[in-house]
Structure 1
Amino acid sequence: MAITPPGGRGSSGPAGTPAASGQGKAGAAPAGAGVTGVSAPRVRDHRVDALRGVALLMMCIDHIPQDVLNRFTMRNVGFADAAEVFVLLAGYASWLAYGRAFSRQPWQEVVERIVRRCGRLYVFQALMAVVTIATIRLWRQYWPVPVDFLEPELAHGLDSLWRVMLLQALPGNLNILPLYIVLLLAFVPLCWVLRRVGPWPVLAVSGALWAVVNFDPSLNFPNWLDPDGWYFDPLAWQFLFVLGACASILAGRHGGSLPRWRPLAAVCWAYLAFSAVESFPWTGWGLPDLRPMATPWTDKMVLSPLRLLDVLCLFYLVQSSTLATRWSQGRGGQLMAMFGRHSLEVFTLGTIIDLYGRLMFTSFGVGWGMQVAVNVVGFALLWGMTRELDRRRALARAARRA
């Protein structure tokens, strides 16, 4: 399953993450606040956009179980997957787009931007829900559709559609944007606290709530379609979002990058190696099982510790790496960054492509011809839309400068 931010002219993130630009050297922050320094002119950090773009494409592939390419996504070489990357980047980019704006603009204006962004997220969520339900109900009139494509309550009647529109019922593959809406609305009071007490007390409280939910997974938002609640428990996943915002504050004090400490980088590499060995589908590839221990607890709903550590290690290595900076400025990195700059639109179109890809594979087979057709057409549609969005953005900027 899988997560884009916001307002202004920044880029969208997981399902709506705000602009993720790098920062100049931050000035000294007022005592007590610790997060309100005055920054030098910013240079866009393409690492965030490129990492988000890579995760977007992996998410699209992962949502089509029959796609052979999903053997090569990050979920096969780690405990975490694209969802963790999106939520972490959402927190990171939200501070860049909104957190710093609270010190330069009236609070009412920034809050209005956040509310408008949440409204846009909701519109895209409703669009995906309507397209998904209508497509499956129409498709099943001509070809068989397995029941796991849509909950029976929606596949056999529309009496429950209002619950979907009110986010009381979250169908499968349509539960990341509601999480982001909740986290973004909570970002307003979060900013107020961060600016007054600093990151550490906020991290302590947020981490404590995450730990409580891991001990008692029943603490969750209700989901009418699932007695266990939301697939991404907001009470647990908020910790990853808060960590992202605090990482953005820290990077702002070090020229836009996380400080590189070699012993910590070595620990991160070691953990990622362990995660890769434990997560690799050895038997699925016809190989001997080389896992040193039994499959550990990696519950995605409550963001288990192993998943959390996995995405934090990956993020630290990327955001503290000059090599990652150079890659993100190259041709391949810029292609991925283009996807990342428009992640809400890419996520939405990708979800619809995933739906039709699954239906095509289910109805007409998973041969190599169909594999190539679905992946090539899907990538071409995403690339074409993103190129057009980039072109329009460039024209709009040129018009503003003029």
Structure 2
Amino acid sequence: MEPPVTHSASLARKTPRDHRVDALRGIALLMMLVDHVPDDLLNRITIRNFGFADAAEIFVMLAGYASYLAYGRLIDREGWKTGIHRILARCVRLYLYQTGMTLIFVWTVRQWRHYQPLPEYTIEPQLAHGYGWLWRILTFDALPSYLNILPLYVVLLALFPLIYWVLKRSLWLLLALSVAIWAIANLDPHITIPNWLDPNGWYLNPFGWQFLYILGILGAVWASKHKGDLPYRRWAKVLCLTYLAGAFILCFPYEYWHVPSLRIFPAPPNTGKSTLAIWRLLDIMAIFYLVQSSTALRRLSADRIGQSLALLGRNSLEVFAFSTVLDLLGRLMFASFGINLWDQVVMNAVGLGLTYALAIPLDRARQRAKAARSPAVPLKPAPASE
């Protein structure tokens, strides 16, 4: 008689962890680190220069993908009460990080101005004096520049129980509702959440960006039915590569690199980020499909280079908050002391080093905590013949 299947044996037969999402999120975090310093030379080689989308789209789509894996499965396994409790705890954590970053942002700029003159764009005028704005920060009524993605994530994650409830009843109903809301937001961009610092409202309009988040959720549902991979289709790969090649030709900064332009017609205006214009949406969907349908990239994400990126993605909140503070310091230093190549090399090297100096111990602590939660798996003695 064969021995019963134990928990440890079932663990051993599990499919190896897919690190592509974590690695891709790590790449997005590194791009955000340089994109948010406008004068940094490295932001000339991030994806926003070679297509319609940028790191923010990657971040939000992966947030939807990870939300399904983390909270959808938790709800199925342990019930709605446990799932909602875990979601609310995460939202509170995101809220505290957002509020803390904003207060650090305002305090740092105010203190810096005591010693060095700064241009007006380093802080919104409404935040430059007094403290009457504080309650607006605490209620997300005031979102400063470069600090608008976590509030979007809080809203979308808080809605996840409702999204998942609709998904359990009809995937197509969820998709239809999401498309309709996204289309309305694009037809009338004034449908958004007010922002005291910007008459146009939240820069990342939740009514538009919810579509990308839900596409991430649906991508996770689809991939879960195929052992974590999106189904490989040659025609889909060719279509995605063709679209990305066209986006590259239209968006490449020919003028900056002083090379002849290959555009046969003008690129779409770079104003579709707020409501997630269709060309940006298709851009990130193509990238996501190519990554999540590639078994070669699955293997690459598990090797040394992939893991060096994945450890950033596994600790995305802490890394994002820390890199946002580094970005602020970089902008202040460039604004106060000017820009030269040596300063940029040093600043990028220090920023990258400090980011990994934070992520490595965080990741080790995360792995230790995960091991402590897992049941001990006794070692099976090797047969005498081995």
TM-score relative to the length of structure 1: 0.88
Q: Secondary structure at the match of 1:287?
A: coil
Instruction: Tell me if structure 2 keeps the 8 A contact 1:297–1:304.
Output: no
Other-structure match for 1:20? none
1:47 aligns with 2:34: no
What is the aligned counterpart of 1:97 among 70, 80, 84?
A: 70
Shift of the 42–323 alpha-carbon distance from structure 1 to 2, 3 Å rule, reads closer
1:249 aligns with 2:247: no
1:161 aligns with 2:134: yes
1:383 aligns with 2:348: no
TM-superposed CA distance for 1:103, in Å, is: 1.4
Letter in 2 for 1:348: A
1:314 aligns with 2:290: no
1:229 aligns with 2:201: yes
Letter in 2 for 1:380: G
Q: Which runs of 5+ in 2 are unaligned?
A: 1-12, 377-386
Q: What's the Cα RMSD here?
A: 1.2
Q: Which runs of 5+ in 1 are unaligned?
A: 1-39
Other-structure match for 1:145? 118
Q: How far does the alpha carbon of each residue in 1:64-119 deviate from its partner, in whole angstroms, 9 at most, with x for none?
A: 01111111100010100000001100111100001122211121111000000000
CA distance in 1, matches of 2:371, 2:85: 26
CA distance in 1, matches of 2:111, 2:336: 14
1:183 aligns with 2:159: no
What is the aligned counterpart of 2:61 among 88, 91, 98?
A: 88
Other-structure match for 2:167? 194
Letter in 1 for 2:255: T
CA distance in 1, matches of 2:237, 2:187: 29
TM-superposed CA distance for 1:150, in Å, is: 1.0
TM-superposed CA distance for 1:42, in Å, is: 5.1
Stretch deviating more after TM superposition (262-271 or 355-364)? 355-364
1:301 aligns with 2:311: no
CA distance in 1, matches of 2:139, 2:274: 21
* CA radius of gyration, larger in: 2
TM-superposed CA distance for 1:377, in Å, is: 0.9
TM-superposed CA distance for 1:394, in Å, is: 2.5
Identity %: 51
TM-superposed CA distance for 1:58, in Å, is: 0.3
Other-structure match for 1:30? none
TM-superposed CA distance for 1:277, in Å, is: 1.1
Other-structure match for 2:249? 277
Shift of the 184–42 alpha-carbon distance from structure 1 to 2, 3 Å rule, reads farther
Other-structure match for 2:9? none
- Report how many residues are paired: 362
Other-structure match for 1:332? 305
What is the aligned counterpart of 1:290 among 253, 256, 262?
A: 262
Instruction: Tell me if structure 1 keeps the 8 A contact 2:156–2:206.
Output: yes
CA distance in 2, matches of 1:399, 1:110: 21
CA distance in 2, matches of 1:237, 1:42: 32
CA distance in 2, matches of 1:127, 1:227: 24
Shift of the 228–374 alpha-carbon distance from structure 1 to 2, 3 Å rule, reads same
What is the aligned counterpart of 2:36 among 63, 74, 89?
A: 63
Other-structure match for 1:130? 103
What is the aligned counterpart of 1:399 among 363, 372, 385?
A: 372
CA distance in 1, matches of 2:370, 2:166: 34
CA distance in 2, matches of 1:42, 1:116: 29
Q: How far does the alpha carbon of each residue in 1:364-400 deviate from its partner, in whole angstroms, 9 at most, with x for none?
A: 1211221112111111111011011012122223333
What is the aligned counterpart of 1:369 among 342, 347, 352?
A: 342
